[in-house]
Every structure is written in C-alpha cells, then in structure tokens.
A and B are shown apart, each in its own frame.
Chain A
Amino acid sequence: MAIEMKVPSVGESVTEVTIAAWVKQDGDYVEMDEVICELESDKATFELPAEAAGVLRIIASEGDTLEIGAPICKIEKGEAGLASAPEAPKEEAPAAPAESAAPASGTGETVKVTIPTVGESITEVTVSSWAKQTGDTVEMDEIICELESDKATFELPSPAAGVITTMVEEGAVVPVGDLVATIAAGASAPAAAPASKTDSPSSSPATSGSSDSYASGHPSPSAAKILAEKGIDASAVKGTGVDGRITKEDAQNAQKSAPKESKPAAAETAAPAPAVKGSRDSRREKMTSLRKTIAKRLVSVKNETAMLTTFNEVDMKPIMDLRKEYKDKFKEVHGVGLGFMSFFTKACAIALQEFPNVNAFIDGEEIVYNDYVDVSIAVSAPRGLVVPVIRNAEGLSFNEIESEVVRLATKARDNKLTIPEMTGGTFTITNGGIFGSMLSTPIINAPQSAILGMHNIVQRPVAINGQVEIRPIMYVALSYDHRTIDGKDSVSFLVRVKQLLEDPMRMLLMV
C-alpha cells in the first residue's frame, strides 16, 4: 500500500513552497521521520520527514513550486520486503494542522476554522480584522480574516465554501489551535450536479459563480481572443459569467502579473520623440510575502513613532590596533575571527544597561523595560532583510558574540533561519558600512525603541591634541523613538558607545 505525502501547512501566510532539494532519491528506502526533502518558503526552509517507512516515489521534482496540500511524493509501504522496517502505523501527517484535515465537502456539515500553527515559537495570534462577517457566504480559500503575530501579519483562508459564523471578536488574542469560526458548508451550491432529477433544483439561493460547473472558466470567443493577446491563461481568470464562464469584460479586466501590453500604435501619430537608445522595457513581479511584511512594518514604524536620529563619529584606531595585535591569537584560541561586531555589540550592551529606556519599548499605556539585552543584527539575506537575534548579549564574551554572529549570518544567507531565531530583540545594530554607506538614518525595528547604524571606516584628518592627524573614522547614527527616549539619553547613549569604542579597555574594566 502506498501513502501519498502532501505539502504540509507551514504557516498561515505561506501558500506555496519550493522543493529546494531531495535528500532521498526516487526508489530509495526511507524510514519513518527520516528527512526526505527540503522545502523553501519565502520565510524559511523546512525539512520534510517521511510519514511512513517504505520506498520513496517522487512526484514533484526539485525546483517545483507547490501549493500547500499538493502531493509531493508517495511512499510504498512494505515494499522491497525489508523486514527491518517496522510496519508504520498509519498515515500520520506530523505537520498537518486541522485546517487541511477539513476539506470542503458541501454536504451540509459544519467545518471548523481553527488557528493553524505559524511557527514553533508562536503560541497565540491576534485576530486583527475580519474580512467576512457572520452570515456572509465565503468561497473556499477566500480570505476570511487577518491574523497578527509579533513577527508578521497573516491571512487566514477559508477551508471550505459556505456561510460563516465568526466566534471571536476583532482584537482578540487566540491561542494556536483554537476555534475562531465555523462554516456551514451546506449553504453552497451543490457543485456540478448532473441535471438528471425530474424536477430541476431551481437554483438554490447560493452564491452565484461558486458552482463548479464543467463550463467554469470557459472564455467566450471574444474573451478567448483578448486573453490570448494578453498572454493570460484562461485558468488564471475568474469568470463572472453564468457558471463561472469568462465574459468579455472579465478578459478585459484580467491583468497579467507581467507588464501591460506594449502600446504599439501610440508612437505612430505622436511627434517624433528624440531617439532613445537601449531597452525601455520594464517588468512587474509579485511582491513576496516577506517583502510585503517588511514594507508594511517599515511604513508603520515611520507613522507610529516619533523617530529621529543623532550622529557621532568614532575614531577606530584603538580597535584596529587591538585587532591587529590579537587577531591571530584570538582566532587560534577561539576558532573564530575577531571582527568589529563584537566590539559594537558589547559596547551597546553596556550602554543599554546604563540607559534602560533605550532598551525599553512601549506596550499600550506601559513601558516595558528589559533587564537583558537581545541585540538584533540586520543581515542582508538573498530574499531580503532579516534580523536574527543575539540573546543576552550583556553576558556574552567577545568570542561568543563573534561565533553567534557567524552562525546567524550563515543561516540567514542559506535561508535557514527559524522564526524563533528572528523573534524578540530589544535593540538593533545595522551596518550599512559593508556596502559603503558614509551616513544614514536607519529605521527602528519595532517595537524596539532604538537602532544603531554603523558606517564605513574612512581615513579622515582629525585634530588630536592640536595636531592634524589621519585617523580611521566611522560615523555612527542612532535612530530612536523620542516618545520614550529624551534627547539627553539618546545623545548620551551614543557618546557612551563612542567612548567605549575609542577606548576598549573601558569595556574590560566596565568604566
């Protein structure tokens, strides 16, 4: 007997995953829970364990993008007569949440809508808004509500078509797995019922266009031509005609994710424009959900905080001298290079403990002060900016900070960071200097209250004891939320960081 494995649900906002690599090959014998392939979403990378022991039959190949629930492989149980394989008990999808176990059936039963698992560290979410109200008719996969975790906002699709009854109010905090709504699936039109009854079931008061007729998605002759010319497949268009047929208007309104049609005739009548050399093409791509989340959060920070930036300059000579002297020894002893990050992280950790309101954040009417320092490090990953967290930086030694930085940066580059590794953080350090930035005003990583911006190190003439000297100088910037941090504290904080960096011995002596 073979069981079919499907792409498990990995998070509410994740609708599709890409097969990064097959760890096992077609025909291989796999044990239950053995990792058979690696999946990638826009958020993270996941490993897919075998649901049973048996011979693997691959359905989707590497590089394929699959929707959640799509078949990915089969496992032929008891194949190959391997007695060592303990009879795998049953089709136990480890990662499959309740959602996938409740398919739309349209037979009048009630489908429960629960909060699916988002990530290991997330135990509850906030229902930020309902897109549908009690009594509304919803289609399968239609978005019924928006959920928020501290990491991102997710949309919850309906697991069935029918009439919805919401169970919690907007703003409610709901634990993962809890019921938020029910859907009376029977209220939807019976899909594609063959018309063989003596009395025709004169169209039930169901939603129009929800019926899954054989003609759904069939374009009218003019619609077909328009779609062909736009290069849009009819299957990508939602028909609004009878039984979901695609009307001319549907085709006219259909938009490709790619560029709009080139405008051919426009140039003919227009006055000869000055000749432009080179391509004038532009292209459109769908925003990834990660990008959308970043965009939304950055804008909300700018809108919801009183953010401003203070600057200072740091003479890097002492640190560079120190590094020059101990670099090799450090590497020899700790197995990790001595970079600038450990100095900055350490200096910030010390300064943060001295200026607790820079390490605090606002929660409603209250200010939360953190006695620990979790430093988020902004890392440029292939898919966009991510911010893994160095925990309890105040207690870490230089080599522990450096190892942690290397570990997190490597995972970020390989898209292997887990959600818990990116969650939390009380302060952020971002280094635009590695790309050559001289000066910038970073945006706070909400809900934190401040962020330190590092920049490039440039040889500059400075006055030292009345003499002009050439020193390696880095400008540093601190963006902070003026709501909680007064100018005195923010400026003093940055001066303190400067002081610690220009005289690293202070960090040892804590002075």
Chain B
Amino acid sequence: MDFDVIIIGSGPGGYVAAIRAAQLGKKVAIIEKYNVLGGTCLNVGCIPSKALLDSSEHFHNAKHHFAEHGIKINAPKADLKTMIGRKNEVVEKMNAGVEFLMKKNKITVYNGFGSFVDKNTVKIAKTDGGEETISGTNVIIATGSKPLILPFMNFDGERIITSTEALNLKEIPKHLIVIGAGVIGAELGSVYGRLGSKVTFVEFASSMIPTMDGTMGKELQKSLKKTIDAEFNFDTKVTKIESNGKEVTVTAENKKGEEVTFNGDYCLVSIGRRPYTDKLNLEAAGVNVDDRGRVAVDDHTLETNVKGIYAIGDVVRGAMLAHKAEEEGVLVAETIAGQKPHIHYNLIPGVVYTWPEVASVGATEEELKASGRAYKNGKFIFKALGRATASGDTDGLVKVLADKETDEILGMHIIGARAADMIAEGVTAMEFRASAEDLGRISHAHPTYMEAVKEAALAATDNRSIHS
C-alpha cells in the first residue's frame, strides 16, 4: 500500500482528518479536484459568506448607525467589486493556510479528481492532465455536498443562481428573490438586503430557519423586517422559475392554493444541498448509499459497509455543517488509529450567520413538547443587557431550556450579536450535563454579551434573573 489513509476531498472534514491521521503517525494522501484546498466551506461557503456578511454589515452600520454614534459621514456607497475582491483575498489566505498545514504534517496532496478503482485503490485524473493510481489501507470519503437544484428551476448561473454564484455577483441585485428561507437563504438574503437589495423570501415551510427553535425564526424575521427591505412568503410552493436574461419570474402556489408570481432581477435558489458522490465510482468499491443518496455509515465508527472505507461530513447523514465534518474527521482518524472517540451529535451547535446571528444547541422547545418532557424555559432579552445597549445591538435574546425536575440544561438558543460565539458556553455546559443553576452560579465578566446566558440560566432555574 502506498498510504495508510487516502482522503478524497479537502474540505473541513477531509483536511482535518488528514492532519489528525498524520498526527497519529499515519502516512496520508489527500485528493482535491479543485486547485485550492478547503472545500465548500473555505471557497464557496462559510468563510466567503462571512467575509461578505461583515462587509455588508459595516456598510449597513455606516449608512444607518454611524450618525447615532456621533460619526458624521457622507452617504456611503457600496462597492461590490471591492467587497468581492476582499472576500477573494480572505479565501486565498485561508487556502494558503491549509496548504501550509498539509506541508507541515507531511501530507501528500493530489490535485485532481479521485474515484475508486477498488476498495483500496483510488485513481486520480490530475488537474494538470495525466492519471495516477494510488493505494491505501483506509479511504475516507469526504466529498461533501453541492447546492440542490430542481429541473423546473432552470438554473443558469447568471440570473437564477445558487449560493456559489451569489458569492461572486458583479452587481447588487435590485430585487433578489430567495427560494428557501433556511440557513443559506437567510444568510445571503441578509447580505444583499443590507447592501440595499429588496429581498423576497419564498419558503415552503411556515417560518424562517424552520428546523431551529420556533422563537429563533420568529425573532430573525422580526429583525430582518426592521433592518432590510424584506418580504416573506411562507407556505408557498415554487412551481417554476424563468429568466429572460434580465428579469426573473418565479411562479408559485400560496397557502390558499392560488398561483402567485414574483418578479426580480436575481433569484437565489437555496432549498438545500445534496450529498456529492458523482463519478466517485462507489460501485467499484462496493460502498452502499442510502435512499437519499448519502453514503451509508456505521453510526459510531462512520465506517461504510466496506471495511476500511469511511465517510464523513456532508456526504453522510446529519447536519451539513463544517464543524460537524471536522469532528467526524477527527473521529475517523482516531478510529483508524485504534482509539475509541465518540461524538454527541445532539451537542453539535447549529449556527446561522445572519445579522443578528442565530445559534443553538440541544433540544428545541418544539422537540421537548413533542416528547412530553417537563421543562422550564428561561429567557433574557438583549435589550436588558448593558453591553448590548452600549453597542447598540439590542436585537436578540437567549433562551435556556432545562429539565423541570433535575434542572439539567436540555437546550440553548441564542439570537443576537455574537450568538455564534456565545453558543460555545451552552455546548460546554451540556457536554458536562450542567444544570441551569450551575451556569447561573458561574461568574460572567461584565459588561459582556455572555451575561445574557447567565441571566437566561437564572431565569430558567427559578425565574430569578437579576436584570429583568
């Protein structure tokens, strides 16, 4: 065998698995079909969207909030070209960073398209032409996912676009129609909304970010309505999207069954992502996929039905999140090395990078109700928080759900500035099965946003929040 471990795909799952395996003394190869490492997250996902989100937030603040802070400027102008250019620089920096890490850990990088020849052999159709075949004792499938597009949506990459194209637009849309108000739709919709686009959300479910706790969707919608020119169409089923090259027409059926149309200059389709196993030739290795096209894996070891072949990240079951893929990458590398790691999937935080951010961990209130568990609910709103008031970011709240009897924290849901960072305390607390009172008795620095977590925990403990 040429390698101990071959990893197909260099996204956050793949490259982390590569580093961890190398740390454990394995000889590792990683195959990436693009010229740059980092996968969706780094190139067309998390990192670039956060770069644009922050640029758009700065613009929005300059336009709407500088004056109240006593900063007088002429009306700012959004220069999308520079914003995108900056975003590209950020991505390049990260690419270089991953490349450095591969070198540092002595991981062999192959640029090319990897596919199975048999269970231990992978063929690489190299980007610079030519072909190479390598063999490995273990293979990790980390090929990720692609945006989901249905045929009647007439994707053209110009006017009818996915998240990938939305990160490289040449102009700010006048009216962006967003199909799907889930995480990606909400994030990109809020980017362009802040840059001045009118944004129309068309969502099949009855709220924004429908998989998260109900309060979060409601609060996010309230906040977006206040800050951007947004329109929401829930319970609406898109039946056709057409473009004439300048204008896009979306035809849909509303709650009452009536046909409605929306006209805009761009339409972002963000109805989800599909596992990407195209041309991977899984059959040659005998690897099974499930009914939704995901590589079927053992829940604990992430090994496929073929011994020595593992799969991680978006290509397997579970949330399509970079940090989930990273944990799985570490788990597989350690499992191959004979260790026995474990992931608490219930404790992988979900995050939405809108402004305000949304983040959650554990059970939603809806789930607790459905399961009949007796729980307590403690909330604390940012308006009552010193730091939020000082900063002027008063939209948001923290919600702590705890078991009625034992006071154990069962879920934490945050919307507001820095929510994505704040959720870490909830994750840590829940990994140690802390009670709401435990958090309430831990000192939190003042004045910080984190105090909202403590206050919400106090509210959950015994409705004894200090500042509300």
Interface residue ranges, A against B (CB under 8 Å): 192, 194-198, 200, 213-215, 218, 220-221, 224-225, 228-229, 242, 245, 264
CB distance from A478 to the nearest CB of B (A): 58
CB distance from B311 to the nearest CB of A (A): 21
Q: Which of A214, A225, A264 contacts B433 (CB 8 A)?
A: A214
Extra pairs beyond A215-B435, A245-B432 (14, CB < 8 Å): A194-B404, A194-B407, A195-B435, A196-B462, A197-B462, A214-B433, A215-B433, A221-B342, A221-B344, A228-B340, A228-B341, A229-B339, A242-B438, A264-B338
B406 touches A228 (CB 8 A): no
B462 touches A198 (CB 8 A): yes
Across the interface, which residues of A come within 8 angstroms of B461, CB to CB?
A: 195
Q: Which 10 A-B pairs have the closest CB atoms?
A: A228-B340, A214-B406, A215-B433, A229-B340, A218-B433, A195-B407, A194-B405, A195-B437, A225-B341, A221-B431
Q: Could you write out 15 A-B pairs with CB less than 8 Å apart?
A: A192-B406, A194-B404, A195-B407, A196-B462, A213-B406, A214-B408, A215-B433, A220-B431, A220-B432, A221-B342, A225-B339, A228-B341, A229-B339, A242-B438, A264-B338
A228 touches B342 (CB 8 A): yes
Quick one: CB contact mask for B328-362 with A, threshold 8 Å, 1 for yes? 00000000001111101000000000000000000
A224 touches B407 (CB 8 A): no
- Complex CA–CA separation, A264 to B437 (angstroms): 44
Across the interface, which residues of B come within 8 angstroms of A242, CB to CB?
A: 438
CB distance from B239 to the nearest CB of A (A): 47
- Complex CA–CA separation, A371 to B71 (angstroms): 113
Across the interface, which residues of B come within 8 angstroms of A198, CB to CB?
A: 462, 464
- Complex CA–CA separation, A220 to B407 (angstroms): 19
Quick one: CB contact mask for B452-468 with A, threshold 8 Å, 1 for yes? 00000000011010000
- Complex CA–CA separation, A264 to B432 (angstroms): 31
- Complex CA–CA separation, A195 to B404 (angstroms): 9
Q: A194-B405, A214-B406 are in contact. Are A225 and B432 (CB under 8 A)?
A: no
CB distance from A189 to the nearest CB of B (A): 15
Across the interface, which residues of A come within 8 angstroms of B462, CB to CB?
A: 195-198
Across the interface, which residues of B come within 8 angstroms of A214, CB to CB?
A: 403, 406, 408, 433
Chain A binding surface, main DSSP class:
loop
CB distance from B425 to the nearest CB of A (A): 15
CB distance from B337 to the nearest CB of A (A): 10
Q: Which residue of A lies closest to B347 (CB)?
A: A221
**Interface residue tally for chain B (C-beta within 8 Å):** 22
B433 touches A245 (CB 8 A): yes
B405 touches A224 (CB 8 A): no
Quick one: CB contact mask for B39-70 with A, threshold 8 Å, 1 for yes? 00000000000000000000000000000000
- Complex CA–CA separation, A200 to B341 (angstroms): 37
Across the interface, which residues of B come within 8 angstroms of A197, CB to CB?
A: 462
A225 touches B340 (CB 8 A): yes
Interface-centre pick from B338, B344, B432, B464 (highest chain A CB count, 10 A):
B432
Quick one: CB contact mask for B392-434 with A, threshold 8 Å, 1 for yes? 0000000000011111100000000000000000000001111
- Complex CA–CA separation, A228 to B334 (angstroms): 13
Q: A198-B462, A218-B433, A245-B432 are in contact. Are A224 and B408 (CB under 8 A)?
A: no
Across the interface, which residues of A come within 8 angstroms of B403, CB to CB?
A: 214
Q: Which of A196, A215, A229, A264 contacts B408 (CB 8 A)?
A: A215
- Complex CA–CA separation, A192 to B342 (angstroms): 28
- Complex CA–CA separation, A198 to B433 (angstroms): 22
Q: Which of B342, B404, B406, B435 contacts A224 (CB 8 A)?
A: B342
Across the interface, which residues of B come within 8 angstroms of A225, CB to CB?
A: 339-342
Across the interface, which residues of A come within 8 angstroms of B340, CB to CB?
A: 225, 228-229
- Complex CA–CA separation, A224 to B462 (angstroms): 31
- Complex CA–CA separation, A370 to B435 (angstroms): 69
- Complex CA–CA separation, A264 to B25 (angstroms): 13
Across the interface, which residues of B come within 8 angstroms of A221, CB to CB?
A: 342, 344, 431
Across the interface, which residues of A come within 8 angstroms of B464, CB to CB?
A: 198
- Complex CA–CA separation, A218 to B347 (angstroms): 15
CB distance from B342 to the nearest CB of A (A): 6
Q: Which residue of B lies closest to A224 (CB)?
A: B342
Q: Which residue of B lies closest to A220 (CB)?
A: B432
Across the interface, which residues of A come within 8 angstroms of B435, CB to CB?
A: 195, 215
CB distance from A210 to the nearest CB of B (A): 17
- Complex CA–CA separation, A214 to B342 (angstroms): 21
- Complex CA–CA separation, A323 to B404 (angstroms): 83
CB distance from A233 to the nearest CB of B (A): 13
Across the interface, which residues of B come within 8 angstroms of A220, CB to CB?
A: 431-432
Interface-centre pick from B338, B344, B408, B433 (highest chain A CB count, 10 A):
B433
- Complex CA–CA separation, A74 to B285 (angstroms): 55
B342 touches A200 (CB 8 A): no
Across the interface, which residues of A come within 8 angstroms of B404, CB to CB?
A: 194
- Complex CA–CA separation, A221 to B404 (angstroms): 25
Across the interface, which residues of B come within 8 angstroms of A192, CB to CB?
A: 406
Across the interface, which residues of B come within 8 angstroms of A196, CB to CB?
A: 462
Q: Which residue of B lies closest to A218 (CB)?
A: B433
Across the interface, which residues of A come within 8 angstroms of B434, CB to CB?
A: 215
- Complex CA–CA separation, A214 to B344 (angstroms): 18
Across the interface, which residues of A come within 8 angstroms of B408, CB to CB?
A: 214-215
Q: Which residue of B lies closest to A192 (CB)?
A: B406
Across the interface, which residues of A come within 8 angstroms of B438, CB to CB?
A: 242
CB distance from A191 to the nearest CB of B (A): 12
CB distance from B378 to the nearest CB of A (A): 13
Q: Which residue of B lies closest to A196 (CB)?
A: B462
Q: Which residue of A lies closest to B431 (CB)?
A: A221
Interface-centre pick from A196, A197, A242 (highest chain B CB count, 10 A):
A196
- Complex CA–CA separation, A264 to B338 (angstroms): 10
- Complex CA–CA separation, A174 to B342 (angstroms): 53
- Complex CA–CA separation, A220 to B432 (angstroms): 6
- Complex CA–CA separation, A228 to B406 (angstroms): 27
